[in-house]
Structure 1
Amino acid sequence: EVVAAGKPAQIKKCPQSLTGQYLSGKRSIPVPTTRRPGNGKVLTLGKASGNNLRNVTVSIPLGLFTCITGVSGSGKSTLINETLYRILSRHFYGAKTAPLPYGSIKGLEHVDKVSDIDQSPIGRTPRSNPATYTGTFTPIRDLFSSLPEAKARGYQPGRFSFNVKGGRCEACQGDGIIKIEMHFLPDVYVPCEVCKGKRYNKETLDVTYKGKNISDVLDMTVDEAMEFFANIPTIRRKLATLVSVGLGYIHLGQQATTLSGGEAQRVKLSTELSKTATGKTLYILDEPTTGLHFEDIRMLLGVLQELVDRGNTVLVIEHNLDVIKAADHIIDLGPEGGDEGGLIVATGTPEEVAREPKSYTGQFLRKEFAAARNGTRPTEQ
């Protein structure tokens, strides 16, 4: 449905348009009233000198939402992705990729794991879907196998998996679609003629819960499934995290390859939210707002703030001011890009960075804060 069309001034006047509401200032992502103090512990990376970094020593306060900012080419990805993340991956998981040159790392004892949550697909085949990735499908299969009809037939939870023989349609091997290889052209997928895209054989589909079989459940949206499984806490809890990141509209069995980068990233975040929190995890995200709408950014920020509220540390490389102004702490690199970058220009709360005259990020934050005080958008000043 096309909600509005026309020039920006016309879109602003359309009350049904979320975009218009953000453009007009009726909706906005607010500046937090307080900044977290953190847990008093820090992770310090000393003398990082990869690419254009000039022996940078940086202290990352733990238990905070920290933004790494700076113009393109200032060294953000080199510092975080190619140095810090690789150090942590090697330390915790024995990763083989070597970090770029650095002198020292202190404070590892304050972190128990690192997670890089990017926009890559949650799976590269039609078998991968939100239900399997988030672990929601396991309690659903357990539920179906506990039904009287399933017990009478001797069905185990594996019977309701489309990844193993027994309950799946063998014509498509549980994919629900058939791949047709096209020479010199991309492969084409067509619905399976035997199961009609349902993934399972007739015997498996005969088992129903509240009138729905396992294929019907996979066709449900997350919102529909929340209502359907309202009395099953183990399932409802996992679905609730998907709803909390704004993904109530996606289907449980939706092919991973059809999810956008932003949707895939939020599925990953919802999975993290559903895990038992240790309060010592370091999450790294590289420009997570790429391609996201204002409203999507608002929901993403809500998830990131919740992860920090649980005691974790969130480290985001970002250019978007709506995210930067919501951070507890900023590490601003620059002053320029390339050979003129590679230094730390400013650190501190967004308000402290806004007072640094040499920081480009600070200059734009000043405008953002002034606009927030005046109730206008920065572009209107």
Structure 2
Amino acid sequence: LEVATPAVRREAKKNRRLKIVGARGNNLKNVTAEIPLGTFTAVTGVSGGGKSTFLIETLFKAASRRIMGSREHPADHDRIEGLEFLDKVIDIDQSPIGRTPRSNPATYTGAFTPIRDWFAGLPESKARGYQPGRFSFNVKGGRCEACQGDGVIKIEMHFLPDVYVTCDVCHGKRYNRETLDVLFKGKSIADVLDMTVEEGVDFFAAVPGVRDKLETLKQVGLGYIHVGQQATTLSGGEAQRIKLAKELSRKATGKTLYILDEPTTGLHFHDVAKLLEVLHELVDQGNTVVVIEHNLEVIKTADWVLDLGPEGGDGGGELVASGTPEDIIREKRSYTGQFLRELLERRPGGKREAAE
């Protein structure tokens, strides 16, 4: 099993680069480095080499302060050039998509609104005078009031994590009996939320507003999760990919900088390949993706690599090498280059065309 090495790497759009000048937060030693826009860039190096300080503490915080007006305080640096080419900067991390059982993939990706609208438009709903709000578990009316639409009851354990038990009134369905009487193709809205994403795509094949949003979840390898699965039961990797799916379903402006910190942590090999497809699709739309990564299968597909180190802590904080993976393997001091060389030398040329 392996990911194909691209036959052709993307080149930077004419003179469009982000240039970080004089980064010196934590152990960074006055690092100046460039990231070509419109490419997939990997920031590599040993643990403690300065990757997170460079990418998250310096670039992300400075960019979100300038572009998004956030109140982040970036690490010390002189300046960053090229931010005028971007209109958004997003850090897609593994934090939960929500901290309550009511948050779920459907609400997060926006698929739940068209699902509610669809159920409210059915003849049975119209006859009963039901509006889309009837199918929401955030407002009174259609939800089960015993659990307030959570489907579970929270039991607070004072010195232990909270425990959730299934609501014994609605039996986890979240809605009251009258709401569940409204059926589409024999299924209630609770049945729809209990479907896997894959089943949901087939079920709503004739409803593009719902199907397309669920399709992006399937695309990032999450066809197996449930449409209404409680956010509290999703892993960090799943939460991260749900966020990616939301980005994929947005209208691309081609001017977004996406930053991911070790996105392949804990993923099975097949999921790594799936994730890479999605990240490269975001780049094909004209965006820039920068990842901190140790996984050589990811690094070898990058268009550009920044290798920080050479060691961790005081022995790190320098830019050891930068360039294409082929450039990195020529740098004697780069540990990444040494391991990457073995992979690239047995290269079965996979296809990926260069961007214009």
| Common topology (TM > 0.5) | yes
Q: Does the 8 A contact of 2:153 with 2:165 survive in 1?
A: yes
Question: Which residue type is aligned with residue 67 of structure 1?
Answer: A
Is structure 2 residue 136 aligned with structure 1 residue 139? no
Is structure 2 residue 215 aligned with structure 1 residue 240? yes
Report deviation, 1:307. 0.4
| Equivalent position to 1:39, from 13, 18, 30 | 13
Report deviation, 1:196. 1.2
Is structure 2 residue 246 aligned with structure 1 residue 271? yes
Q: Does the 8 A contact of 2:4 with 2:348 survive in 1?
A: no
What's the counterpart of residue 227 of structure 1? 202
What's the counterpart of residue 23 of structure 1? none
- Spell out, residue by residue over 1:22-76, the C-alpha distance to the aligned partner (whole angstroms, 9 max, x if none): xxxxx21111111001222011111111111111111111000000011111111
- In structure 2, what is the Cα distance between the partners aligned to 1:239 and 1:167? 24
Q: Which has the higher contact order (CA 8 A, sep 6+)?
A: 2
What's the counterpart of residue 327 of structure 2? 352
Question: Which residue type is aligned with residue 282 of structure 2?
Answer: L
Cα RMSD, aligned residues only: 1.2
Q: Does the 8 A contact of 2:49 with 2:310 survive in 1?
A: yes
Q: Using a 3 Å threshold, how does the CA distance of structure 1 residues 148 and 373 change in structure 2: closer, same or farther?
A: closer
What's the counterpart of residue 278 of structure 2? 303
Question: Which residue type is aligned with residue 289 of structure 2?
Answer: V
- In structure 2, what is the Cα distance between the partners aligned to 1:84 and 1:136? 32
| Equivalent position to 2:95, from 120, 145, 159 | 120
| More moved, 47-56 vs 182-191 | 182-191
Question: Which residue type is aligned with residue 60 of structure 1?
Answer: I
- Spell out, residue by residue over 1:283-323, the C-alpha distance to the aligned partner (whole angstroms, 9 max, x if none): 00001111111111101101000000000000000111000
3-state SS of paired residue (2:347): helix
Question: Which residue type is aligned with residue 121 of structure 2?
Answer: S
Report deviation, 1:77. 0.5
- In structure 2, what is the Cα distance between the partners aligned to 1:254 and 1:198? 12
Q: Structure 1: which 5+ residue stretches go unaligned?
A: 1-26, 375-381
Report deviation, 1:372. 3.2
Question: Which residue type is aligned with residue 99 of structure 1?
Answer: P
Question: Which residue type is aligned with residue 326 of structure 1?
Answer: T
What's the counterpart of residue 193 of structure 1? 168
Report deviation, 1:182. 2.4
What's the counterpart of residue 65 of structure 1? 40
3-state SS of paired residue (2:346): helix
3-state SS of paired residue (2:6): coil
- In structure 2, what is the Cα distance between the partners aligned to 1:83 and 1:285? 14
- In structure 2, what is the Cα distance between the partners aligned to 1:139 and 1:254? 17
| Equivalent position to 2:182, from 194, 207, 222 | 207
- In structure 2, what is the Cα distance between the partners aligned to 1:42 and 1:34? 20
Q: Does the 8 A contact of 2:100 with 2:231 survive in 1?
A: yes
Is structure 2 residue 56 aligned with structure 1 residue 97? no
- In structure 1, what is the Cα distance between the partners aligned to 2:62 and 2:186? 52
Matches for 1:306-317 after TM superposition, within 5 Å: 306-317=281-292
- In structure 2, what is the Cα distance between the partners aligned to 1:109 and 1:148? 51
Q: Structure 2: which 5+ residue stretches go unaligned?
A: 350-356
- In structure 2, what is the Cα distance between the partners aligned to 1:50 and 1:186? 36
- In structure 2, what is the Cα distance between the partners aligned to 1:187 and 1:313? 40
Report deviation, 1:357. 1.5
Corresponding residue pairs, total: 348
- In structure 2, what is the Cα distance between the partners aligned to 1:102 and 1:347? 19
- Spell out, residue by residue over 1:91-120, the C-alpha distance to the aligned partner (whole angstroms, 9 max, x if none): 123222210111011111101000100111
Report deviation, 1:186. 2.5
Question: Which residue type is aligned with residue 28 of structure 1?
Answer: E
Question: Which residue type is aligned with residue 78 of structure 1?
Answer: T
Matches for 1:246-261 after TM superposition, within 5 Å: 246-261=221-236
- In structure 2, what is the Cα distance between the partners aligned to 1:97 and 1:117? 16
- Spell out, residue by residue over 1:100-152, the C-alpha distance to the aligned partner (whole angstroms, 9 max, x if none): 11101111110100010011111111011101001000100010011111111
TM-score (norm 2): 0.96
Identity of aligned residues (%): 68
